[in-house]
Chains A and B, each alone.
Chain A
Amino acid sequence: MIRRAAALALIAALGALLLPLLLGYHPDEALNLTACYYAERTAADLGAANIVTAIVVTYRGLDTLGEVTVLFLSAAVVGLVLARGRTATTGGRPRLPAGELLTTGSRLLAPLIMLLGIYIFVNGHLTPGGGFQGGAVIASGVLLLLLAEPGRRLGHRVIALVESLSGLAYVAIGVAGLVYAGGFLDNRILPIGTLGELASAGAIPVIYSLIGLKVGAEFSSMLANLSETEEL
């Protein structure tokens, strides 16, 4: 009871701190300097129609490389923590088979979900979406497969291969930008093309596709690791 009251008091105090922020908030009338630069320069400099993608992949490309690294680290630690002490036998309690509906439905839906994921990350520079979103969609297709066949063991080697190769290619493109264009992860190693076409914005579609594959592989390995933990 005291604990609950203390928590409530703390939340009330925090709420009182946040309230002036809420009441005193006035939306900006014009873009600030940074946003203005991005809005005005993106089309001419990078040729990407989606400005958020241009910021994530090129203007702040190094941060995104770091973000992908953090995601890789957390996937690796999840695998490490869950694999330690895991019994080699696949035994344990036999799992209930998935229903007929789920099995049949997943056969139809899984390829379509994968296709949607690929569409989302290939068109990341034109439409809302991109590598992280597409990768998450691909991982949701993998989750459907895992649900449909609870006993299935995913090929960890394939996942690890896709993940490391796309990561390596990502860094290689970054270094190519250093040599052939203005700097690390510069997208202008490929022609910028016409704004709004699929093959435009230089290396951005390539980089975002690699990020999509990498993120999809990382999320899939997290899901596989979590689903392969034995029931206690």
Chain B
Amino acid sequence: MAHIALATGFLLFLIGLYGALTNRNLLRMIVAFTVADAGINVVIVAVGHMRGRTAPILDGAVPAAEAASRIIDPVPQALVLTAIVIGVGITALMLAYAYKLYEARRSLDIGKFMELKW
């Protein structure tokens, strides 16, 4: 089970990276980066999963005294919460810059932006 989630995450990461490398359109590159981002998040959450345990929330089914033997690892989930939020901020920034580049050149083709190429 954990292996399936892990493999899905790695696969999403590779697909996203491939998309970012091969697409010439800035918007498609941004979408590809978000796919890679989602893949990494899936990997981190999958690493925290443990067989036969439940979510790290204490209630009637998971009394506080037995928590350590009943819940999965909460730390990766807290990490991914942060990562998702930062990912949204980065995506918004990339979209804003893409808009500005389009405004300057009337094109979203990455091949039209040669200034920093060596």
Residues of A whose CB lies within 8 Å of any CB of B are 3-4, 7-8, 10-11, 14-15, 18, 21-22, 25, 27-32, 34-36, 38-40, 42-44, 49-52, 55-56, 60, 63-64, 67, 70-71, 73-75, 77-78, 81-82, 85, 126-128, 130, 132, 136, 195-196, 215, 219, 222, 225-226, 229, 232
Chain B residues positioned under 8 Å from A49 (CB to CB): 57-59
**B73 CB contact (under 8 Å) in A28, A70, A222:** A28
Chain A residues positioned under 8 Å from B84 (CB to CB): 132
Is there a chain A Cβ closer than 8 Å to B27's Cβ? no
* A-B pairs under 8 A by CB, number: 145
Task: Return 6 A-B CB contacts under 8 Å, by A number.
Answer: A39-B71, A51-B56, A52-B81, A55-B74, A128-B55, A196-B59
- Give Cα distance in the complex from A226 to B18, angstroms: 27
For chain B, give the interface size range: 35 or more
Describe B's contact surface by its main secondary structure.
Answer: helix
Chain B residues positioned under 8 Å from A195 (CB to CB): 58, 64
> Given known contacts A31-B68, A43-B67, is B74 in contact with A38 (CB within 8 Å)?
yes
Contact B21 A15 (CB under 8 A): no
- Give Cα distance in the complex from A142 to B104, angstroms: 29
Chain A residues positioned under 8 Å from B44 (CB to CB): none
Residues of B whose CB lies within 8 Å of any CB of A are 2-3, 6-7, 10, 13-14, 17-18, 21-22, 47, 49-51, 55-59, 64, 67-69, 71, 73-75, 77-78, 81-82, 84-86, 88-90, 92-93, 95-97, 99-100, 102-103, 106
**B78 CB contact (under 8 Å) in A10, A60, A73, A126:** A60
Contact B96 A226 (CB under 8 A): yes
Please give me the residue from chain B that is nearest to A79 by CB atom: B96
- Give Cα distance in the complex from A73 to B99, angstroms: 18
Please give me the residue from chain A that is nearest to B71 by CB atom: A39
**A74 CB contact (under 8 Å) in B7, B47, B92:** B92
Contact A14 B86 (CB under 8 A): no
Contact B96 A67 (CB under 8 A): no
> Given known contacts A43-B64, A71-B85, is B73 in contact with A77 (CB within 8 Å)?
no
- Give Cα distance in the complex from A195 to B59, angstroms: 8
Q: How far is the CB of B83 from chain A (nearest CB, A)?
A: 10
